[in-house]
Structure 1
Amino acid sequence: MDANALTTKKAYLLIGAIFAVSLNMRPAVTSIGPILDVIREQLSLSNAQVSLLTSLPIICMGVFASLAPVLNRKIGLNATMILMVAIIGVMTALREFVPTYAMLVVSSIGVGIAIAIAGPLLSAMIKQNFPHRAGAVIGIYSFGLGAGATLSTGLSAYLYEKTGSYPLALSIWAVLALVGIAAWLASASDHLIVKHHPKRSVPQKAMAIRSPWKNKKAWLFLLFFGLQSAAFFSLVIWLAPIALSKGMTIIQAGTLVSMMTAVQIVLNLTIPLMMERYPGRKMWLLFILLIGLVAVALFWTGNLPLLWVGALLMGVPLGGMFPIALVLPLDETENAQETNSWTAMMQTGGYIIGGILPLVIGVLYDVTHNHQFTIGVFAILFIGMIVLAMLIGDKKE
């Protein structure tokens, strides 16, 4: 269905629903970062155990994405989306009513599976139902993801400071699920679909695609997507504990992370537009990654004013890496089937890498009790991405 087939009112309602749903897809993970130390102390956990609460949903985002087309075929797009948002809401709310580590683990897994299924379907629905406005609507979707992360990192610390209850600070984000479901019900219709073509309908010639698993460039894409995911989630989760160790209050640390993610939101939208005007994939990657290294160096100093400057600068690579990573398979593949295959491989493997690294940092901190090693891991991530940017190079003409 073309967006032109929607009335103007219906189109705006649907775009609003996409934004409302996307707001739900980060807070259950990102709200933990600013109060990670509080959770660890009150539940007597190791840093590795508390890191698992953020690593598990990210890993699930890679492992369970293949369930999206299955549920879409079985119960339809609308029912699937409402069910996944409801699962996110219920799992988030249970953190208040069953405030145990076991429930935190179960809720993290449940939220991760729901995001893994909802995310790909939402992206595919946008591309199919807004073919002439897909870029703009996906931009709104990305903005919603960033807004959810920014709100949760800033307000979770504030809510804990005001109430003294970390379960409340984590579970309050279930309210967003009610907003998402209401917005989706108000806008969606049975005409909204994500099409899946059976293999027999695909011409034989079109099925002759390059397997990404046997292609060096596809593996480079997977590694880059994995390292940028690891950088984003590691920074969102661990920057607040680092700031606390340097002398910030919990509200200041939460604000620091929110400021970083706010810059990221703006750059998510502006860097792709700037790349269209001034092409050169490798140039842009090296530029933003070097800014990231400068930010890491500022974190290393431990100086509080420089931490604020570093957070502002770090928003630049965090805002640019994700949209650039998403277009890598589009630049290198020759047909839609090939693009889908390469993207699936890149995101599946990439999110698994992205989920493992925050856990590795937790284990490392348990051993060293020194966040300078954590900052060292950030530096290694950015150096690794700079090397990969050189190997990936520019788009083939």
Structure 2
Amino acid sequence: MTVTDAPRADRRALLVFIGLMVLVGLNLRPALSSLAPVLTRIQQDMGLSALSIGALTTLPVLCLGLFAPLAPWLAKRLGPETTLSAALLLLASGLLLRGIAATTALFIGTLMVGAAIGIAGTLLPALVKRELPAGADLMTGVYTMALCLGGALGAGLSIPLADALGGWSAGLASWSALAALGLVAWLTLMPRHDGATALPGGGGSTRELLGQPLAWQVMLFMGSQSSLAYIVFGWLPTLLVARGYSEAEAGWMMGASVMVQLISALSAPWLARLGRDQRPALLIVLGCVGAGFWLLLQAPAAWRWPGVVLLGLGQGGGFSLALTLIVLRTGNSRLAGKLSGIAQGGGYTLAAMGPLGIGVMLQFGVGLPSVTLVLLGIVATSMGFALFAGRNRRLEVDAAGGLVTR
């Protein structure tokens, strides 16, 4: 290859990598969002209590938190490429198992799905920072847009797939085809690196990171805003049905809201670049989330579509900025991987309390006004954490090899 050919080859490799990130990202939300619209059918067919359904919606989010810290450890020993391949295989297998209409298979498959998404989602910010160090924050927006599109497809197509394929179990299992496609594409086209040097940069152990307030601030913001996202994935259709909407309409409203996330997921990183730090952008998107919840759950029905749009804009921007903070708050890709493990591990474990709490509230007959107040309280809490995590700070390794915040 000549020098003249090199830039063209680099551009081709870059486009392939972006395409792979989009395809992998498409797989990391349908497993979660496709479950909520069919929860009523699952509950009726399998005789599960509201508390059991709450546990089913909480389990994948809890697994995201429990398995995310394993991702840096596995990447160090197997290489990030092999680890991501294994995660996609686990995801496809879990989706197939979840399609068996049996309680044990449903819960084990959901556990496998959560573990796979936890590992894959933690690896991707570090891979993006490795391959695109100069534009990692903007590439994170593209990847997050793919996540949102996958979530929208899962929510919007769940009922139609269940109807077309003869039941909710076949509908849930059908998403394994997309995961299998992602696995084949990743195995065929993934960037090739020596596992020992795949994530360059050094210093900063997990213990050192846990001693830095900035790492905790990013983690707590990730957890609080993710709690709201997984409440939407797990319970929004149920809450909308309680307001009087039909099952199909509730599913499409959720799907439309997640589809709107595409806009803010892609644009939020650009918005974050306009100021010295990310606090204004974070407060704007969280304000949209709060307004969206109120319009959907308390305002007259005529305001439901503005509520759908505001909720989607806020949640797409919030998650995109949460992942962007992992990239912006670290000085190299190895630190990004470790912070990603901490932020997503601890954050998703905290986020799991959200859907579980809503499930408990509904089990005891708590009304929509009280549920709405709880949701707005979580929004306010997330705003508090955003004021700290959004400051212009970065974790770096100093000349002596120690971890510092600058």
Q: Specify the alignment match of 2:402 in structure 1.
A: none
Cα contact 1:124–1:194 (8 A) shared by 2: no
Q: Residue 233 of structure 2 is aligned with which of 224, 233, 236?
A: 236
Show CA shifts across 1:174-197 (max 9, x none): 110121122223312544757367
Cα contact 1:125–1:193 (8 A) shared by 2: no
SS at 2:68 equivalent: coil
Q: Specify the alignment match of 1:104 in structure 2.
A: 106
2:44 equivalent to 1:53: no
Q: Residue 91 of structure 1 is aligned with which of 91, 94, 118?
A: 94
Q: Residue 126 of structure 2 is aligned with which of 78, 102, 124?
A: 124
Structure 2 stretches lacking a partner, 5+ long: 1-5, 394-405
Q: Specify the alignment match of 2:403 in structure 1.
A: none
2:274 equivalent to 1:296: no
Q: Residue 165 of structure 1 is aligned with which of 164, 167, 181?
A: 167
Which residue identity does 1:317 align to in structure 2? Answer: G
Q: Tell me: CA distance 1:155–1:284, structure 2 relative to 1, closer, same or farther (3 Å).
A: same
1:32 positional shift: 0.8
SS at 2:27 equivalent: helix
Q: Specify the alignment match of 2:75 in structure 1.
A: 72
2:243 equivalent to 1:246: yes
Q: Tell me: CA distance 1:249–1:361, structure 2 relative to 1, closer, same or farther (3 Å).
A: same
Q: Residue 150 of structure 1 is aligned with which of 142, 152, 168?
A: 152
Q: Tell me: CA distance 1:208–1:270, structure 2 relative to 1, closer, same or farther (3 Å).
A: closer
1:337 positional shift: 6.7
Q: Tell me: CA distance 1:186–1:11, structure 2 relative to 1, closer, same or farther (3 Å).
A: farther
Please give the TM-score of this superposition, normalised by the length of structure 2: 0.85
Structure 1 stretches lacking a partner, 5+ long: none
Range with bigger deviation, 19-28 or 75-84: 75-84
Cα contact 1:16–1:183 (8 A) shared by 2: no
1:296 positional shift: 2.3
Q: Specify the alignment match of 1:22 in structure 2.
A: 25
Distance 2:129 2:388 in 1: 30
Show CA shifts across 1:202-239 (max 9, x none): 5xxx6599944344454333222111000111022211
Q: Residue 189 of structure 2 is aligned with which of 174, 181, 187?
A: 187
Matched pairs, number: 389
User: Percent identity, aligned pairs only?
Assistant: 28
Q: Tell me: CA distance 1:195–1:104, structure 2 relative to 1, closer, same or farther (3 Å).
A: farther
Which residue identity does 2:247 align to in structure 1? Answer: I
Distance 1:101 1:213 in 2: 38
Q: Tell me: CA distance 1:122–1:392, structure 2 relative to 1, closer, same or farther (3 Å).
A: closer
Distance 2:262 2:122 in 1: 20
Distance 1:208 1:74 in 2: 16
Output aligned runs, 1:372-391, within 5 Å. 372-390=369-387
Q: Specify the alignment match of 1:318 in structure 2.
A: 315
Please give the TM-score of this superposition, normalised by the length of structure 1: 0.86
Q: Specify the alignment match of 1:176 in structure 2.
A: 178
Q: Specify the alignment match of 1:225 in structure 2.
A: 222
SS at 2:48 equivalent: coil
Distance 1:113 1:65 in 2: 8
Cα contact 2:137–2:327 (8 A) shared by 1: no
Q: Tell me: CA distance 1:333–1:372, structure 2 relative to 1, closer, same or farther (3 Å).
A: same
2:256 equivalent to 1:259: yes
Range with bigger deviation, 376-385 or 215-224: 215-224
Distance 2:332 2:242 in 1: 50
Show CA shifts across 1:285-319 (max 9, x none): 33232232222221232633322221111112212
Q: Tell me: CA distance 1:67–1:239, structure 2 relative to 1, closer, same or farther (3 Å).
A: same
Which residue identity does 1:147 align to in structure 2? Answer: L
Q: Specify the alignment match of 1:42 in structure 2.
A: 45
Distance 2:53 2:208 in 1: 38
SS at 1:131 equivalent: coil
Distance 1:327 1:137 in 2: 9
Distance 1:54 1:302 in 2: 26
